[in-house]
Amino acid sequence: MSALEAGARRSTIMDTNSFRPEHAAALDAHTRELTARRQRVLGESYRLFYREPVHLVRGSGAYLWDADGRQYLDMYNNVPSIGHAHPAVVAAVHEQMSRLNIHTRYLHERILDYSDQLLATMPSELDRVMYLCTGSEANDLAIRVAREATGGRAVIVTREAYHGNTELVSAHSPSLGSGQAMDPDIILVDPPDGYRQRVDDLGSWFARAVREGIERSERRGVRVAALLMDSMFSSDGVFPATPGDLAAAVAEVRAHGGVVIADEVQPGFGRTGESFWGFGRHGLVPELVTLGKPMGNGIPISAVVAQQTVLAAFSDRVPYFNTFGGNPVSIAAAQATLRVIQEEQLMQRARIVGDQVRAALVDLSARHPLIGDVRGAGQFTGLELVVDRDTREPASAAALDVIEGLRRRRVLTSVAGPEGNVLKLRPPLAFGSEDISWLIEALDESLTDAAIGG
Ligand code: PMP
């Protein structure tokens, strides 16, 4: 009997919106065959989105097209930040790939130019950057650096966090479910959930949770190394909190000898609209920052940005090399992406359009009691569905029905949070005001269907 059959806790991020073999009977013959073939060659760990999987062949801006030529609105993917198949990235990658692609043990100006451009978007204390290929690798390295710098071991993460898939980082990603063993020294804290924690001062409440976690760990003889935190708490259910709410918790970590790792894999690169970085929105200067996903608009590239004083203990002892990390082609993609975000003022666009999206969702909530909360910052919105607005009981089944309903109306998104009842609306920044009516009409119909059990 598998762990899941034995009643273990499923992975919230991997198993909630997920195709299962029992859905196969309802599929057309071609989709059924592709799905079976995929399972045969890729194996059981892979999960497909949706009861009826989507077969995509093309993208542009915030739109995707399936193999039958049907157009979809992408409300989910933050990797193609400046838009799917963006011509500036295509051209930059093509030009650099036609000339040279090589690892970082030779001199190359492009990596230096980009590093200067990237560091210019951050507070001056953050003055070193190391390149990798994935967000997981970046968090893995950041934890190693934090442990080296502080002499502590324990890493604080939130209850449904996801930080990646290496051995070290999986062990700090509780959203993978109970099949994944957690690090014995992990410190788990509840996220600053301003909807369910009915407290006057969320910042003090979160700081206390962090302090109590550290003190529990210290009583076991384990000192804290880091608070590893996605400032939008994406997989916890999207909690923007009020800017400033994280400062007291950060002060607790530092008072106990730890450092802060800001995981910017989701909120980074202008998405939250108010600041180029999620930590900036909260007025923080972390010791370490990890970047990924949108950095290369689809080309794998990630980074750890660090304060030199924190990095020193690690770099004095351990040399670093990553064959593909920071190669000229990845850097060309990242450079083009950053340039477009800045030149086209996509951060400002995220703020304006994101506010419009949330205003339209609040209007919609007047007609749909299923909507319990609308929250977010910039182009990062959580739409929490509840059975009852007073008890705030999570409407998990309805949320799944709604995302399936949206999928039928060709709007792609997914769910987050421990109960899978928060729709995560996180489109490419190419999403514009003109796309809002498609989203709202599809949601209106899907919520109506879900409310009547359709
Ligand atoms: N951190 C966060 C907050 C993430 O959302 C993810 C990916 N979903 C990662 C880290 C890991 O990134 P990658 O999949 O590129 O390894």
pLDDT digits (tens, 9 = 90+) for 204-234: 999 999 999 999 999 999 999 999 999 999 9
Mean pLDDT confidence for 181-193: 98
Residue 320 exposed, middle or buried by CB count within 10 Å (0-12, 13-18, 19+): middle
Residues in contact with 188: Cβ distance below 8 Å, sequence separation at least 6, in sequence order:
156, 157, 158, 159, 174, 182, 213
Q: Which of 162, 227, 231 should be mutated for ligand 1, with most atoms under 8 A from CB?
A: 162
Question: Which residue minimizes the CA distance to atom 13 of ligand 1?
Answer: 135
Q: Which two tokens stand for residue 401?
A: 């029905």
Residue in 88, 117, 105 with CA at minimum distance from that of residue 299: 88
Exposure string over 391-422, b if 16+ CB within 10 A, otherwise e: ebebbbebbbbbbbbbbebbbbbbbbbbbbbb
What is the mean pLDDT of the segment spanning 321-325?
97
Query: How many residues appear in the chain?
Result: 454
- pLDDT band per the 50, 70, 90 thresholds, residue 114: very high
Q: Which residue has the tokens 């892979």?
A: 46
pLDDT at 393: 97
Tell which atom from ligand 1 comes closest to the C-alpha of 234.
3
Q: Kindly state the average pLDDT of the residues 69-74.
A: 98
| Helix (H/G/I), strand (E/B), else coil: 422 | strand
First-to-final CA distance of the chain? 33
Q: Which atom of ligand 1 is nearest to the CA of 135?
A: 12
Instruction: Specify the residue with its C-alpha closest to ligand 1, atom 2.
Output: 163
pLDDT value of residue 3: 42
pLDDT surpassing 90 at residue 95:
yes
Contact present, 161 and 239 (Cβ < 8 Å)? no
pLDDT (mean) for 98-115 = 98
Instruction: Select from 235, 279, 293 the residue to mutate for testing ligand 1; criterion: most ligand atoms less than 8 Å from CB.
Output: 293
Residue-level pLDDT at 188: 98
Task: Return the residue whose CA atom lies nearest to atom 7 of ligand 1.
Answer: 164
Q: Please tell me the predicted confidence (pLDDT) of residue 158.
A: 98
- For the CA of 302, the closest atom of ligand 1 is 15
Query: By alpha-carbon position, which residue is closest to atom 1 of ligand 1?
Result: 163
Edge-to-edge strand list for the sheet holding 187-189 = 128-132, 302-306, 288-291, 259-263, 224-229, 154-158, 187-189
Mean pLDDT of 184-190: 98
Amino acid 23: pLDDT: 87
User: Among positive and negative, which fits the CA dihedral 386, 388, 391, 393?
Assistant: negative
Best probe residue, ligand 1, of 265, 266, 301, 304 (max atoms within 8 Å of C-beta): 265
Top mutation candidate among 47, 137, 230, 266 for ligand 1, by most atoms within 8 Å of CB: 266
Ligand 1 surroundings by CB, under 6 angstroms: 134-136, 139, 162-165, 230, 234, 263, 265-266, 292-293
% of residues, the chain, pLDDT over 70: 98
pLDDT at 2 > cutoff 70: no
Tell me, in angstroms, the distance from the centre of ligand 1 to residue 163's CA: 5
Is residue 372 over pLDDT 80?
A: yes
Residue 134 has pLDDT above 80, yes or no: yes
DSSP E strand stretches across 241-314: 259-263, 288-291, 302-306
Which phi and psi angles does 12 have, rounded to 5°?
Answer: -65, -40
Residue 5 has pLDDT above 70, yes or no: no
How many angstroms separate the alpha carbon of residue 157 from the centre of ligand 1?
14
Q: How far apart are CA 263 and CA 92, in angstroms?
A: 27
Which amino acid, one-letter code, is at 377?
A: A
Q: How far is the CA of 291 from the centre of ligand 1 (A)?
A: 9
Atom 10 of ligand 1: nearest residue by CA position: 163
Q: How far is the CA of 142 from the centre of ligand 1 (A)?
A: 13
Q: State the distance from the centre of ligand 1 to the C-alpha of 265, rounded, in angstroms.
A: 6
User: What share of residues in the chain are helix, strand, coil (percent, to 5)?
Assistant: 40, 15, 45
Mutate which of 133, 136, 264, 330 for ligand 1 pocket (most atoms within 8 A of beta carbon): 136
Listed residue (363, 345, 449) closest to 401, CA to CA = 449
Model pLDDT, residue 254: 98
pLDDT confidence of residue 1: 37
Tell me the average pLDDT across 248-274: 98
pLDDT band at 7 (very low <50, low <70, confident <90, very high): low
Cα separations in angstroms, 438 against 141, 431, 434: 41, 11, 8
Mean of pLDDT values over 105-113: 97
**201 pLDDT higher than 70:** yes
Q: Whole-number mean pLDDT of the chain?
A: 95
Strands 154-158 and 71-74: unpaired
The edge-to-edge listing of strands for the beta sheet with 411-412 is 56-60, 63-66, 71-74, 411-412
For residue 358, the CA-to-ligand 1 centroid distance in Å is 25
Cα-to-centroid distance, 451 and ligand 1 (Å):
33
**CA of residue 417 to ligand 1 center, whole Å:** 16
454 pLDDT above the threshold of 70: no
For the cut 50, the answer to whether the pLDDT of residue 326 exceeds it is yes
- Please tell me the distance between residue 390's alpha carbon and the centre of ligand 1 in angstroms: 34
Encode pLDDT of 385-428 as tens digits: 999 999 999 999 999 999 999 999 999 999 999 999 999 999 99
